[in-house]
Chain A
Amino acid sequence: MRRTRSEVLGRAVRTAIRNPGRTSLTMLGLAIGVAAFLAMVSFGSGARSSVMEQFEVLGTRVIYIWTKVNDRSFGGSARPVTDADVEALLRESVTLERVVPRITEVQNVKSDYASLPTDVTGTMPDYVHIREWPMLTGGMFDETDVQQRAKVAVVGTTVVRELFGGRDPVGKLITIGTSLPVRIIGVLASKGQRTTGDDLDEIILIPATTYEAFLGMPTGYHGLMLQVRHLGLLETAIAEAGPIMRRSHRLTDIEQDDFRFSSPAQAAQLARLVSTILTSLLIGIAAVSLLVGGIGVMNIQLVSVAERTQEIGIRSAVGASPRQIMGQFLAEAVVISFTGSLAGVGLGWLASTLVARAMAWSGTLSLWTMIGAAAFGTSVGVAFGYLPAKRAAQLQPIDALRHE
C-alpha cells in the first residue's frame, strides 16, 4: 500500500509538471499567503524583542522619581529632592534594593583635542548597578570619591570617540564647563542608540557631591532611580515609595505629590501589548491571504476536474474506485500545496531577514516556525482541494464518459 501511495504522489507530480504555467500560478497564490504569514510572525516577534531590548537598556527593575521643582504646571511650591529623600526611602521601604539620586545637565566638555556639549550626570556609584551597565575599561567611582568630592569621571564610548578619537582615555583629563577638570577613571560599555535616536553612550558620570560643589545644584536633584528587589514588586514599590516621599517632603493631606513616578517596565508592558495586538492583526490579514491562496487551489482543482471529466470516466470504467479517483485529485492538491508552501517559506524567510536587517532586529525565524508554516499552508491547500476531489469521485461513470 505504501508503494501505491508514493506512486499516486509521483503521478500527481507529473500531472502538475504537465501544466507548468497554471501549476506555478496556483502555487504562487499559496506561496504568497505562507510568506505573508511567516513575515508577520517574524515581524511580531522582532518588534516584541525590540521592545524588550529597549526596556532592558533602561534597567529592568527601575522606577524613576522626578522632581516637580522646575515644573511650571505644578501649582504649589515643590520641595527639592535631596539626600534626605534617598535616606528615607532606603530606611523605610522594604521593596527597594537601591536608591540613587541623579542630576543631569548639558555641559560643554573639552579634552586636549576637541570639545563637545554633552550630558553630565551627578550621581552615586550604584548608578551603574541599577542601569545594569558593565564597564568597558577602568572602574566606577566609589564611596570614597563621593565623600572626597573627587574630580573623577566615568564616560560613555561616544565621548571617548568624540574627545579622544577612540584612544583609551583612562587617566586623561577633561574639563567640564569652564572650570572643572576631572580625570577619567572608567569607560562604560556601549549601549547604542534608542529607537527615539538618543545616543545612550553620550554620557559622563561624576560623583553627585563633586557636581554639587563645582557645578552647583540650586534646586536639588532632578530625580531618583529606585531599584526594586524583583520585577513583580514594581507596583507595590510605587505604592510604598509614594507615602515615604510625601512624609519626607512633609506634605499635608490636602497637598498634591510634588514628585512623580515613571517606570520603563510599565511602559514596556504597554508597548508589548500594543505590538501584540498589532501583530495579531497582521497575522490575521496574512491568514486571509493564505485563505485566498487556498481558494486558488480549489478553483484550479475544480477546473482540472471539469477538464478531465472524460478521463475520470475512463478511469472509473476501467475499475478505479471513487476513493482512488479522489485520492488522485487530493494528491495533486498535496503536491501543489506542499511545493507552494515550501516556496512561501523561502519567500517569507527572505522577507523577514530583510525586514530584520532594515530594522536592526535580532533573531529571525526559527526552524519550527518555518516547518509549522509549511505544514499549515499544505493543510490549507489540501483542505480546499478536498471539495474538487470529492466532486471528481462522485461523478457518474457513464455521464463522465459521455462528456466531451
Chain B
Amino acid sequence: MSSFPIVDARGIRKEFPNMTSPVLDDVDIAVDSGEIVALMGPSGSGKSTLMNILGCLDGPTRGSYALGGRDVSTLTARERAWVRLHYIGFVFQSFHLIADHTVLENVTLPLYYAGIDRQHREARAMEMIERVGLGHRVGHRPAQLSGGEKQRVAIARAVSGQPRLLLADEPTGALDTKTGNEVMELLLELHEARALTLVIVTHDPEVAAFCHRQILLRDGKVVSDGRTHAAYA
C-alpha cells in the first residue's frame, strides 16, 4: 500500500466566538493514502469539528492543513467548495439526502455540480447505485427507503464524484447492528476497490475495530494514536 500522507494537518486550533476554551487545541494528524482511520472520543471531544476541518467544510483558526500535498487551510469559501467537489466525499449519521430528489438525483448531485452532462452523470450514478445494491430503487425518494438503504444511497453519492478522501461521521449511528455491519462492509469494499482513504468518526468500538488505526480525542487534544484497539471507556 502506498504511504504518502493524503491528510497532513499540524497544530490545528479551532476556536468559536462564544466559547472560552478552544474546541481543538494543537492537533496533529496525518493520514496516509489508502488508510482507514477511526476518529474516536466522547461527545464534546472535538472529533466532529476536526472532521469538518479535514473535509474543508470549515477552516482552522490556526494551524496548517495540507490535503494531497497542497495547503488548504486558508482557502476562500469558493475554493473550499472546489476541493470538496473533487477530493472529498461525506457520509453523515442522518444520511442528509435531499428529500424531494429521487435516489438517482441524489447520487448525481456531485456530478451535476462538477458540470458533467446529464447522460454521463446518470450513467456513472447508475453504476454506483447498482454497486451499493439499490438498482431496483433508483426512482424512489428517501422517505420510501429503509435506514440502511438511505445510507447506501448516501455512500453512493459520496463516492460518485470519485473522491480520494471519504469522511464518514457516525455512519452506522442511526442503524441497527446488522444493517450497520453491512454498511461498514460496503465501505470496506469500496475502500478495496477504489483505494479510498477513509476517516470514520465513531464512538462505537465495533466500528473502530474495522479500521487500521484509531485516533482518540479528548477535550480537543489527541490523547492516543495507534494501531491498537484503543481502550475506550
Other-chain contact of A316, B81, B97, B100 (Cβ < 8 Å): B81
Cβ contacts under 8 Å, A314 to chain B = 96-98, 109
A401 in the interface (beta carbon within 8 A): yes
Q: Mark A306-329, 1 if CB is under 8 A from B, else 0.
A: 000011011111111111100000
Q: Is the Cβ of B57 less than 8 Å from the Cβ of A397?
A: yes
In contact, B58 and A321 (Cβ under 8 angstroms): no
B77 at the interface (CB under 8 A from A): yes
Q: Does A4 contact B (CB under 8 A)?
A: yes
Residue of A nearest to B49 (CB): A398
Shortest CB-to-CB span from B170 to chain A, Å, is: 13
Is B157 among interface residues, defined by CB-CB distance under 8 A?
yes
| Residues of chain A with a CB closer than 8 A to B113's CB | 315, 318-321, 324
**Which partner residue on chain A sits nearest B114 by CB separation?**
A319
CA distance A318 to B161 in the complex (A): 9
Within 8 A of B (CB), among A16-74: 18
Q: Which of A1, A4, A319, A323 has the most CB of B within 10 A?
A: A319
Which of B61-69, B84-92, B221-229 makes up part of the contact surface?
B84-92
Expressed in whole angstroms, the Cα–Cα distance for A163 and B117 within the complex equals: 81
Residues of A within 8 A of B57 (CB): 316-317, 397-398, 401
Contact A322 B117, CB 8 Å, known A397-B57, A398-B58, A401-B96: no
A318 touches B84 (CB 8 A): yes
User: Given A18-B100, A314-B96, A397-B57, are A319 and B117 neighbors across the interface (CB < 8 Å)?
Assistant: no
Instruction: Please state if A310 and B96 are interface contacts (CB–CB under 8 Å).
Output: yes
Whether B82 contacts A318 by the Cβ 8 Å rule is: no
Given contacts A310-B96, A314-B96, contact A322 B81 (CB under 8 A): yes
B118 within 8 A of A: yes
**Tally of B interface residues using CB under 8 Å:** 29
Q: Is B45 in contact with chain A by the CB < 8 A criterion? A: no
Q: Is A269 an interface residue (CB 8 A)?
A: no
B17 on the A face (CB < 8 A): no
Query: Are A317 and B90 closer than 8 Å at their CB atoms?
Result: yes
Specify which chain A residues have a CB less than 8 angstroms from the CB of B77 in the assembled complex: 322
| Cα-based distance from A310 to B99 in the complex (angstroms) | 10
Give the docked Cα–Cα distance between A114 and B28 (Å).
115
Q: Does B148 have its Cβ within 8 Å of any Cβ on chain A?
A: no
Taking the nearest CB of chain A, how far is it from the CB of B169, in angstroms?
A: 10
Say yes or no: is A7 at the interface (Cβ < 8 Å to chain B). Answer: yes
**Complex CA distance for A40 and B97, rounded to whole angstroms:** 49
- From A311, A319, A397, A401, contact of B110 by CB (8 A): A319
A226-245 CB mask vs B (1 if < 8 Å, else 0) is 00000000000000000000
Could you say which of B97, B110, B161 has the most chain A C-beta atoms within 10 Å of its C-beta?
A: B110
In the bound complex, how far is the Cα of B77 from the Cα of A398, in angstroms?
12
Taken together as a complex, chains A and B put the C-alpha atoms of A311 and B100 apart, in Å, by 10
Quick one: CB contact mask for B45-61 with A, threshold 8 Å, 1 for yes? 00000001001011000
How close is B114's CB to chain A, nearest CB, in angstroms? Answer: 7
Smallest CB separation, B59 vs chain A (Å):
10
* List of A residues within 8 angstroms of B88 by Cβ: 319
Q: How far is the CB of B167 from chain A (nearest CB, A)?
A: 10
Interface of chain B residues 107 through 125 with chain A (CB within 8 A): 109-110, 112-115, 117-118
CB of B136 closer than 8 Å to a CB of A? no
Task: Decide if B85 touches A319 in the complex (CB within 8 Å).
Answer: yes
Chain A residues near B161: list those with CB within 8 A. Answer: 318-319
B78 contacts partner chain A, Cβ-Cβ < 8 Å: yes
Tell me the smallest distance from the CB of A381 to a CB of chain B, in Å: 23
A319 interface neighbour in B84, B98, B100, B118, Cβ under 8 Å: B84
Complexed CA–CA distance, A320 and B99 (Å)? 17
The residue that A317 contacts in the complex, of B78, B96, B115, with Cβ under 8 A, is: B96
Which of chain B's residues 29-52 have a Cβ closer than 8 Å to chain A? Answer: 52
Contact of A4 with B114 in the complex, beta carbons under 8 Å: no
Complex alpha-carbon distance, A186 and B161, angstroms:
90
Q: Is A396 an interface residue (CB 8 A)?
A: yes
Cα distance, A7 to B116, chains bound together (Å):
12
When distances are taken between beta carbons in the complex, the residues of chain B under 8 Å from A3 are 117-118
Q: A319, B82: Cβ atoms under 8 Å?
A: yes
A323-B78, A398-B58 known; A318 vs B52 contact (CB < 8 Å): no
Contacts of B97 in A (CB 8 A): 314
Contact A318 B117, CB 8 Å, known A18-B100, A397-B57, A398-B57? no
Flag if A318 contacts B78 (CB, 8 Å): no
In-complex Cβ contact of B85 among A4, A310, A318 (8 A): A318
Cβ A317 vs Cβ B98 within 8 A: no
B157 touches A4 (CB 8 A): no
Q: A13 to chain B: closest CB distance in Å?
A: 14
Contacts of B84 in A (CB 8 A): 316-319
A-B contacts, 25 listed (Cβ < 8 Å)? A1-B115, A3-B117, A3-B118, A7-B118, A310-B96, A315-B98, A315-B113, A316-B84, A317-B55, A318-B84, A318-B161, A319-B86, A319-B88, A319-B113, A319-B114, A320-B113, A321-B78, A321-B113, A322-B77, A322-B78, A323-B78, A324-B113, A397-B58, A398-B57, A401-B57
Q: Spell out A's residues near B (CB within 8 Å).
A: 1, 3-4, 7, 18, 310-311, 313-324, 396-398, 401
Given contacts A320-B109, A401-B92, 19 further A-B contacts (CB under 8 A): A1-B115, A3-B117, A7-B118, A310-B96, A311-B98, A311-B99, A314-B97, A314-B109, A315-B98, A315-B109, A318-B84, A318-B113, A319-B85, A319-B161, A320-B81, A322-B81, A323-B78, A324-B113, A397-B58
Query: What residues of chain B have their CB less than 8 Å away from a CB belonging to chain A?
Result: 52, 55, 57-58, 77-78, 81-82, 84-86, 88, 90, 92, 96-100, 109-110, 112-115, 117-118, 157, 161
